[in-house]
Structure 1
């Protein structure tokens, strides 16, 4: 009987990790589900980013396999039976990805394509830099499927766009494209289809050539002002999500997430 090698295990995992020199690449790898988020994905994604830092990587690139960056929560996966404490812990593991990205002393660059939906969109926007393929579509469908935002985006989005536009996007679920995201300050660069990862790796290579302490302090100085507000937003989002849990199974009738209908 053959035994599973480390490569075999890597193939089966929903998050892949690779480090070449000073740059680590963390890849969401559930292409058959457009990299939809599960509890296991949340756990492994946070672990992978922390691993990159622990191993001495000086930049991290976060990307997705297949046709999309991330299609948000996997609504087709049966929700586990859980008590309120378990639900809260699962939400906090989801948020741990945002915390890990924000607390990383090295820059994290999102290389985004296809769909960036819900939690996937929130994780991308938590990164220090975002490179998006020109066909990328961003959306926050949570309200439409009876959920709430959970990854600090209630603070992060409003800080960049202002409360009115942030409310509009979150409350209506209206999607927006890569060029809009760039014009609004949510994305740094828009590149042709298929070039997002290559360009993100180029940026990572540029950053690792800069003095590491100065780079880390630049990131910290810009993020420190967000720290307390972000933690407050994360705590508030968990509390509001728990109200959804207490209310029972959300009514998702008539709410088909746009990314389930077509691929950009």
Structure 2
């Protein structure tokens, strides 16, 4: 396993955990963290069935490290600014495009770029009293660098403009009401709830999970006839990659009465 200084990466069985590990800075993103994050996500792509993203200490991720990402890069000159921006884009695009399901475990503050990292995960479970926010406006700038995209894809327009224009923070419990977070639980129950979700995802076919997200991201802006054709075509690609295993496991499980979805039963295990 590669040694990192700004993140921690662990893999147990087929579950990976990427932890932002700068607790003294509330896990704020500096160029080193972004470089390590991008590297780690590239290495983990084909290794894990589910990836959990969280933060060390009492924060998830407090956004950008102003001293190292902005001030130091600006002092070093335009090439340093460009390199910092390249590392930022690479890390977050790799998170967005990660093939396995990604689960944000929001254990504390998620601000600005930290909010973006949370929102780029497929699912998010948070501690009820953990705080989220888009604080850029408080420093005289607009939420940018991909942050507004993430806000627009997790909030309706009224909420998006309210929180990006006021910089007012909100809790994960409030975020559930807006559809930003899937679920908020007491802090003492966060680990157990995320572990339960991960176990449930591990029971699902890897390719089916990956293509479920592909379907949604592509068809959300299509009309129905176009979406119908797209899903059929991509479905054949998925079945080919699976080796048509779903016919043996999923369909036969249903026809042989080993799988009864109406009774709330999961995908059948191999026998």
Change (3 A) 1:150 1:195: farther
Compute the RMSD of aligned alpha carbons: 2.1
Greater relative contact order: 1 or 2 (C-alpha under 8 angstroms, separation 6 or more)?
1
Q: Secondary structure at the match of 1:161?
A: coil
Shift of 1:76: 4.4
User: Where does structure 2 lack aligned partners over 5 or more consecutive residues?
Assistant: 222-271
Query: What is the CA–CA distance in structure 1 between the aligned matches of 2:175 and 2:139, rounded to whole Å?
Result: 23
Q: d(CA) in 1 for partners of 2:57 and 2:150? A: 27
TM-score, normalised relative to structure 2 = 0.74
Aligned partner of 1:53 among 45, 57, 63: 45
- Contact between 2:129 and 2:173, CA under 8 Å: does it hold in 1? no
C-alpha separation between the residues in 1 aligned to 2:111 and 2:145? Answer: 12
C-alpha contact 1:46 1:100 (8 A) present in aligned 2: yes
Note closer, same or farther for the CA distance 1:60–1:143 as it changes in structure 2 (3 Å cut). same
Counterparts of 2:80 and 2:194, CA distance in 1: 36
Distance 1:198 1:136, change over 3 A: same
Question: With structure 1 as the length reference, what TM-score do the two structures score?
Answer: 0.76
Runs of 5+ consecutive residues of structure 1 not aligned to the other structure:
1-5, 228-264
Shift of residue 150, structure 1, vs aligned partner: 3.7
- The answer (yes or no) to whether the contact 2:119–2:154 under 8 Å persists in 1 is no
Aligned to 1:26: 18
Aligned residues: 218
Over residues 214-256 of structure 1, what are the superposed CA-to-partner deviations in whole Å (9 max), with x where a residue is unaligned? Answer: 11110111123579xxxxxxxxxxxxxxxxxxxxxxxxxxxxx
Residue 160 (structure 1) shift: 3.3
Structure with the greater alpha carbon radius of gyration: 2
Distance 2:196 2:43 in 1: 21
User: In structure 1, which of residues 60, 74, 84 is the aligned counterpart of residue 65 of structure 2?
Assistant: 74
SS in 2 for 1:79: helix
Larger mean Cα displacement after TM superposition, 147-156 or 217-226? 147-156
Find the aligned partners of 2:143 and 2:220 in 1 and give their Cα distance.
Answer: 18
